[in-house]
Chain A
């Protein structure tokens, strides 16, 4: 069969974006949390909680906006729990984060199975959700050959994710509260001494960051047409997001790039053989790569990124006080 070469490439680029944007939400949310000096390993669980509540409430309200808001609020609620435990009660951040993952996935299945036992909302029955999540073509830009349909013909939450990332970049690097937040993450004692309310800064940014993760989870649910089965919608993306934070060097703008680089490898699994069939001379070897290697690729890349970033010493954006609880009396 003669393959439509340009079509295959366009689909490949389109897929890189559409399947990996949840990583961007997770990463940007985690960057905000980590910039406050808190290491939250609960991304996977928080995304799951945001997803299940966002989806169910969004469907019942028949409004994508309410779904996004619910996902954000439920994510933020998880953040509040994390903050209460680690900021106020000084619990170990790693353990709390891991616990939150287990807890979040438990909530996901508990709520999901509970609702499904009664009546599961089917996305296609809710016009506003279905149409709200449909592709929105950006006039002009989408006419660019190959790249146009690949990058500028997506659902509104793709654009929202990129906008959030860019706003976050501006907030962290240009705005006064953002700079104060970074001070909290670098040296909470110093920030405290100049009158920054460390606790409040930590609480607010942990909650907002976790809320953003929640929206990412909701995206994953919608992208799978909200069909609820025995595996979780988040599917390990939360963990990759934790690693992408390091890849992006704690910079939300770089996170956009990181998401697409990562997405490239993630999507090879889906499109590798099509690319091989469309370009047998140049890319034919892609078809010979075993499925299992494609499956492992995102995690292999993650491991490599972690090793490289732990060797690299200069110019790291990692907050100096990351992972350390701040206790005023010990200052």
Chain B
């Protein structure tokens, strides 16, 4: 009997253990309650020194890498650029799980602090923020990566990271031509479950194929947004079993790049410049400049007469910045890149920037490099999935933004599951 109780205790303990790693630091939750609470502020024409920004984070604000870190850095950078005092004007509730009750409590806390605008950075916050936007019409709500909004004080924001991935794909493709190895690996948090990961894989692959149509991108799905142990193992598996000479990634840590470095192959990181982590392997990484949006949003919010004008002032309920706005980019190319990579990227960037061309369309780019000089040629070609379905006819217009952010669930030609 005793043993059965013991077994039960152990089983319970293990269930706890599944979540234990995520929540190590219990001291920082609810850290917004530092100054005296005030009545809910209104956004109407508050001066820069009185404007209060609230933020709800999924992980710890003290993180030194990863998703929450990227947003926290973006918000503080934007506030500093606007001459605001981060210590006094930024209120944070961190380690908020994607649970309506807890998100609601976090919003209540921030409204209680008198925040004029509240940013929620995790996808699962979208429903509760919608409810709260109605409850507090004087406060602006802004939600990252989601698709919900209203016509007044609730918008969402995201970036065209697939454009940056396309550029990284060019770098990877040129490197594969140089090494003669057409197998390229890609460690991805998810594949077709989320449009975000799916469009990333597709953007990267189209970039690769623009320079090397023979190349195959082998995608290995983690099934988690962050899982460092397996991020390394998956990259190693792609290198050893699939013979990949380049490893790209859609996951937080630099583990895949470290694996590439150890195996003596190359790689494209994500989120931040990972050249320092893997100096001999890293080519370039698609990166986010969240501060671009945060600066724009805070500035716009401060200029609004009242909170209900925010969505109009932002020119729509969904902000979707790309290379052109500087919201996404690729990190500076390392010396590992093949000759002509910079030129190829610059030319394609200009094409995208001018609005002349975009990644998911019926027009394909053929990029060739000779003597360190790139030449880019536009060719009408259908956008095909890897099971032979035609998505866009040759010469057709781009896939709609709502598909790229919301419903894309196919992998393009050249992608294989590993």
Contact = CB atoms under 8 A, between A and B. Distances in A.
Contacts of B224: 295
A223 B24 CA distance: 21
Contact of B223 (A233, A242, A278, A295): A295
Interface in B321-367: none
Interface size class, chain A:
35 or more
Contacts of B23: 105
B128 interface: no
Contacts of B13: 41, 94, 98, 239, 242
Contact of A231 (B2, B21, B69, B418): B21
Given A19-B229, A98-B16, A234-B21, A116 B7 contact: no
A220 B232 CA distance: 12
Interface stretch (B44-52, B117-125, B252-260): B252-260
Interface stretch (A58-66, A253-261, A303-311): A303-311
A196 interface: no
Contacts, number: 178
Contacts of B240: 7, 11
Interface string A104-123: 01101110010011001010
A81 interface: no
Nearest to B6: A323
Interface string A232-257: 11111011101100100000000000
Given A1-B242, A224-B229, A232-B24, A94 B9 contact: yes
B237 A236 contact: no
A269 interface: yes
B65 A229 contact: yes
Contacts of B220: 273
B24 A108 contact: yes
Contact of B17 (A117, A225, A228, A236): A236
A273 B416 CA distance: 12
Interface in B1-27: 2-4, 6-7, 9-11, 13-14, 16-18, 20-27
A230 B6 contact: no
Contacts of A239: 13-14, 17-18, 20
Chain B interface category by residue count? 35 or more
A230 B59 contact: yes
B221 interface: yes
27 contacts: A1-B216, A41-B10, A94-B9, A101-B17, A102-B20, A105-B24, A106-B25, A113-B64, A223-B229, A224-B258, A225-B258, A229-B64, A229-B66, A229-B228, A230-B63, A234-B21, A235-B228, A236-B17, A239-B14, A269-B230, A274-B237, A277-B242, A291-B223, A295-B224, A299-B14, A316-B3, A323-B6
Interface of B: 2-4, 6-7, 9-11, 13-14, 16-18, 20-27, 59-60, 62-69, 183, 216, 220-224, 226-230, 232-234, 236-237, 240-243, 252-255, 258, 261-262, 277, 417-418
